[in-house]
């Protein structure tokens, strides 16, 4: 299996790496709206709000300066994003009246198609600006299923329990009285219980600086772990870090146990001190990257619980956090997660994410052991649970993703439709649905579109393994600079993890960085039985010496014959110019690694008749014709002949 982990579409990419998904966003190349509507900048249509000619205005004590994207209060200016300012201008023009989502899309996004999360992201940033930078001079009301309203004045002390001053609390529920009355009037049915809409504002976390327990903890480590945790919560405003008026409190202590360091963290309800979750992470004291990795791992679990579990009562939230711990543990524990979430849906049958999480864990349990005696029962349970989730919330992304994974391997078009729908629906905290949609695009050779979605995943979650997938996608496109940058971000968290050198070696080979691939192979990236053959091959390719390249082929062929499950050798053999052997390996392994035909060295085979037959056997020619799409190789100079038949 290649490092991308696309053995099958239903397999989580992060599990193929043996780690939960983490990635760090240092460079944001695309905004959320651009990700959903990729186009060259010079073709960008003018939105309804031209900020350059918009006059400044006041909201309470805050002066809004649209042309400079500034909010000015108490002698201090805060800069916001262009879309955030445009949204604020549109809402302010309405003078307290409700602005529909369609009006916002028309004015801010020029009527383009966008996903719900793009609107939510902009509104979340606007809310944070109001609370954190503008002292509550204005607030944002969410009118469920309608739109938004700007409220100006001292809204913090308003007595009425409206959306603008309602606090996020575990346990909030919403009864839709009108709908229930209508059901009673028309059918005599019992009152209908609706699960709550997303919280009116993100949960607020007070992050207490981690402390050291004992003198043998490195002096800078607690502060470093605190900073890493703070950064991992991200800037997408789905969780707000603030000391004032928190909903939950996160604290932790670090101590040394022999030759290991241990981080113990606690999450408590800020109202009554109820323990919601606690966890322990350990790592060898000598490792430099592991502290950051473990701090980020803890944050991943908390994002899962606090964002996806918003609205649960405290005891159910504590249970859901246990599930998040099992799912995003260093090694995912699907069977444990399945037992937890079964209990959860018994207690909270209206919790859509609970049902889809049950389906996720059931399919994950099967993936880890396909020969289980209860495989059929687990699959049936997953199918029913995903359907139950969608009956509660028809826009629940994770349920669509699960349905996509359950399709037959060659159902490319149907799978893509479901995954695209998932990526455009209500995402879970990790944004895994976007990553899986990107993976499906990689499988059908639409690499440029996959890059757009991986970048969108970066917007959703600031830390994750997105960077590794993004690095490979850039390598396939021949963009070595961005490939190196993305892989550097991945290295910051994964450099100490088992298998990292192998991942790095394969990535270097896909990017054509042969000298680097040879260095990594010698450092432990290659298995002992194949190390010498690969080092010789990489060194020969680095020198472009025809004689050395020819001499390296037999050893690589021999290794590939002894390890037929390793599709990576098809790429190396293609680079060495041994086309028959490369195609032999590809034929044996393409079912487990269907993305390998698109790796740059393998693209040299695209005019071979056997290459075309492989694409036909995988149902890809039929897929491209049915969907009227084309793989990126059809855009290249001298495209393969089949491209002319795609219409």
Structure tokens at 296: 């980020």
pLDDT tens, residue by residue, 91-121? 988 888 888 877 887 788 765 545 555 677 7
In sequence order, which residues have a C-beta less than 8 Å from that of residue 557 and are 6 or more positions away?
Answer: 573, 578, 581
pLDDT at position 158: 32
* pLDDT, position 68: 84
Q: Which residue's structure tokens are 């109202």? A: 271
Q: Report the pLDDT averaged over residues 352-364.
A: 95
Is residue 409 within 8 A of residue 399, CB to CB? The reply is no
- Judged against a pLDDT cut of 50, whether residue 38 lies above it is answered with no
Alpha helices, DSSP H only, in 478-608?
Answer: 480-494, 500-510, 514-520, 528-543, 546-562, 568-575, 579-589
Q: What is the pLDDT of residue 53?
A: 75
Q: What is the pLDDT of residue 31?
A: 25
Measured CA to CA in angstroms, residue 184 lies from 101, 145, 188, 190, 195 at distances of 31, 22, 4, 6, 18
Using a 10 angstrom Cβ sphere, with 0-12 exposed, 13-18 middle and 19 or more buried, the burial of residue 408 is: exposed
Q: What pLDDT is recorded for position 29?
A: 23
- Sheet with 70-73, edge to edge strand ranges: 57-59, 62-65, 70-73, 76-79
* Four-residue CA torsion sign, 222, 227, 232, 234: positive
For residue 168, pLDDT over 60 is answered with no
144 band by pLDDT with thresholds 50, 70 and 90: low
- Strand-strand pairing, 248-257 and 211-213: parallel
| 111 touches 105 (CB < 8 A) | yes
| pLDDT attached to residue 141 | 82
What proportion of the chain, given as a percentage, has pLDDT over 90?
42
- Give the model's pLDDT for residue 236: 63
Mean of pLDDT values over 470-487: 88
Position 182 scores a pLDDT of 25
Residue 188's pLDDT is 30
| Residue 554 confidence class, pLDDT cut points 50, 70, 90 | very high
Residues 6+ apart with CB under 8 A from 180: 191, 192
What is the model's pLDDT at position 165? 33
Which pLDDT band, with edges at 50, 70 and 90, does 4 fall under? very low
pLDDT of residue 467: 83
The 8-class DSSP code of residue 526 comes to S
Residue 85: both structure tokens together: 């300012």
| In the chain, % of residues over pLDDT 70 | 81
Q: What are phi and psi of 81, to 5 degrees?
A: -70, 160
Radius of gyration of the chain (CA): 26
pLDDT reported for residue 111: 57
Interval 285-294: pLDDT, tens: 888 777 888 8
Helix axes 579-589, 546-562, angle to 10 degrees: 30
Edge to edge, the sheet with strand 147-152 lists: 99-100, 147-152, 138-143
Pairing status of strand 204-207 against strand 240-241:
parallel
Helices and strands counted in the chain (H then E): 26, 13
Give CA–CA dist 520/514, Å, rounded: 10
Residue range 30-56: mean pLDDT, rounded: 45
Most distant pair of Cα atoms in the chain: their distance: 86
Would you state the pLDDT for residue 118? 66
CA distance 556 to 1: 17
């Amino acid at each position: 299996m290649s490092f991308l982990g696309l053995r099958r579409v239903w397999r989580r990419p992060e599990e193929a790496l043996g780690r939960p998904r983490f990635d760090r966003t240092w460079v944001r190349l695309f905004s959320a709206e651009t990700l959903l509507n990729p186009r060259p900048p010079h073709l960008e249509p003018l939105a309804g709000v031209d900020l350059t000619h918009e006059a400044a205005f006041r909201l309470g004590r805050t002066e809004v300066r649209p042309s400079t994207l500034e909010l000015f209060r108490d002698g201090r200016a805060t800069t916001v994003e262009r879309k955030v300012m445009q949204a604020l201008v549109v809402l302010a023009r309405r003078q307290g009246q409700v602005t529909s989502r369609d009006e916002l899309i028309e004015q801010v996004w020029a009527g383009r198609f966008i996903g719900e999360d793009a609107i939510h992201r902009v509104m979340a940033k606007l809310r944070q600006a109001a609370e954190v930078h503008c002292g509550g001079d204005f607030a944002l009301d969410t009118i469920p299923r309608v739109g938004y309203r700007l409220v100006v004045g001292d809204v913090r002390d308003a007595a009425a329990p409206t959306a603008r001053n309602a606090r996020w609390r575990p346990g909030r529920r919403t009864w839709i009285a009108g709908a229930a009355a209508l059901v009673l009037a028309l059918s005599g049915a019992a009152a209908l219980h609706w699960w709550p809409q997303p919280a009116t504002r993100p949960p607020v976390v007070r992050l207490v600086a981690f402390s050291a327990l004992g003198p043998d903890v490195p002096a800078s480590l607690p502060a470093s772990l605190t900073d890493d945790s703070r950064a991992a919560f991200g800037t997408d405003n789905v969780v707000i870090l603030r000391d004032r008026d928190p909903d939950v409190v996160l604290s932790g202590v670090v101590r040394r146990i022999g030759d290991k360091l241990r981080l113990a963290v606690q999450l408590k309800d800020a109202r009554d001190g109820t323990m919601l979750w606690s966890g322990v992470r350990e790592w060898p004291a000598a490792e430099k990257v592991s502290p950051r990795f473990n701090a980020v791992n803890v944050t991943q679990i908390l994002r899962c619980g606090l964002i996806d579990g918003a609205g649960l009562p405290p005891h159910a939230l504590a249970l859901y956090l246990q599930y998040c711990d099992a799912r995003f543990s260093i090694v995912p524990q699907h069977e444990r997660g399945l037992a937890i979430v079964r209990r959860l849906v018994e207690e909270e049958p209206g919790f859509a994410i609970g049902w889809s999480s049950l389906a996720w864990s059931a399919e994950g349990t099967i993936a880890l052991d396909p020969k289980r005696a209860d495989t059929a029962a687990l699959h049936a349970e997953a199918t029913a649970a995903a359907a139950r989730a969608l009956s509660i919330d028809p826009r629940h992304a994770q349920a669509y993703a699960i349905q996509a994974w359950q399709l037959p391997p060659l159902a490319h078009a149907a799978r893509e439709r479901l995954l695209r729908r998932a990526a455009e629906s209500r995402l879970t905290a990790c944004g895994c649905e976007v990553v899986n949609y990107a993976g499906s695009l990689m499988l059908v050779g639409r690499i440029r579109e996959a890059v757009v979605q991986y970048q969108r995943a970066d917007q959703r979650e600031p830390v994750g393994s997105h960077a590794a997938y993004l690095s490979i996608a850039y390598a396939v496109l021949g963009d070595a600079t961005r490939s190196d940058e993305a892989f550097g971000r991945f290295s910051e968290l994964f450099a100490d993890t088992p298998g990292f050198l192998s991942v790095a070696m394969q990535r270097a080979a896909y990017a054509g960085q042969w000298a680097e691939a040879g260095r990594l192979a010698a450092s432990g990236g290659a298995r002992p039985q194949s190390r010498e053959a690969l080092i010789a091959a990489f060194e020969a390719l680095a020198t472009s010496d025809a004689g050395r390249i020819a001499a390296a082929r037999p050893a690589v062929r021999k290794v590939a014959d002894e390890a037929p499950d390793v599709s990576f050798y098809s790429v190396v053999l293609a680079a060495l110019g041994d086309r028959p052997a490369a195609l032999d390996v590809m034929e044996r392994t393409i079912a487990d690694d269907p993305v390998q035909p698109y790796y740059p060295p393998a693209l040299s085979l695209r005019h071979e008749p056997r290459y075309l037959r492989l694409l036909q056997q995988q149902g890809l020619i039929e897929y491209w014709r049915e969907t009227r799409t084309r793989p990126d190789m059809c855009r290249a100079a001298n495209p393969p002949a089949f491209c002319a038949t795609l219409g």
